[in-house]
Chain A
């Protein structure tokens, strides 16, 4: 208790909240008592460090906000040059590498052809599981039904209960455009007659698939519900550059009726059996995580969770975000989709990032 009094006194002294007498008394105390003097000096230094941290955080926030403002105004170029300028720039830069790569490629292709032809008998047995939760338990349904009945019964209905059909699978998706375009996996929406998406507040909207490609396993849904209002301020951007091995990543998804956070790292730059359109990540996921965003520490989406290897632990595959651009090109012909360009997650700590992100991650259900 006495310690607290002393600490309190030091803080008031620092912030010059002491009366003149008190100040004299305090300085006297320090002079006559070397032990206290040392404690004061130590605490002063410590508080100084905390102050520095506080100032720096505020300043960093200003910098990040100014940067995104200038990017929006076009003062800072978002991406490098386009067209011819870019090609000649890239050529100038990678000329040597390309030369070396081309000659290596020649040698490698000949040798792999030989090796492959001698090993072709060994077939690879498909052993990956898509991460869609097909076993929505009866119990959960019962609870939901009871809950929705109770909602109807009580006079204050906050969330309009909408499930008129029984969903038999559950997965995850996230917004690509505040107008209601949601990205998820193609295997999620295949064979689905009805689709519903639900945000973490529990609001449900009808959606339909406007794009599904089995090869890339990407699908784009559009919310077609009139009760959906356009959202703005998507906090993330989509990464265009390659991600490095060992980079820390995280995901949000709906393996349960509640949003679940998982974190891990990038473990390989290719996916199942050398598939270069996906990454291998080490992250704990379960049926229902399919379609969830894979986000790096700067808040850029680097991929979409798609499947995991059945017979191995912690081997999960995520489709690279680059593929989204191709998918969008096909949808754009019908409607304009604008991917978010301003990243407001950069520099925030994880808890804040999740808070901002979770409003844009949806549960996808259907039958």
Chain B
């Protein structure tokens, strides 16, 4: 019985999901199976569909190190400000001439934390906006956060 392209694609994906490390061997075997059954057009079509969906899935996904990088950025930011707070308790405040650098560091750190954590939250569906472009959200949001924090720091801290 002839399979539709959708059914054949699902079958290929099911087989790959069962053994993802053997995907090349599975693709070869399934292609040969369809060709032997006289379904060469379907075989070609499903490999093309798979290449297209793979590219779109890759673009949607954020790299797995994004949340890790986000937490590291957040941790460094917190430690940095804890150090500033402790220093100020011992009358070691940041000199007025160096406060500009603190604002830059703060803006970069907050933007990086937002960017990495926000991007991974969107990709995993935790934030129901921009779900089709988590990387766009990550980059655009990071830049926006940088500008806002920089402007606020410039206004209130300098």
- Co-complex (A, B): no
B interface with A by C-beta (< 8 Å): none
A interface with B by C-beta (< 8 Å): none
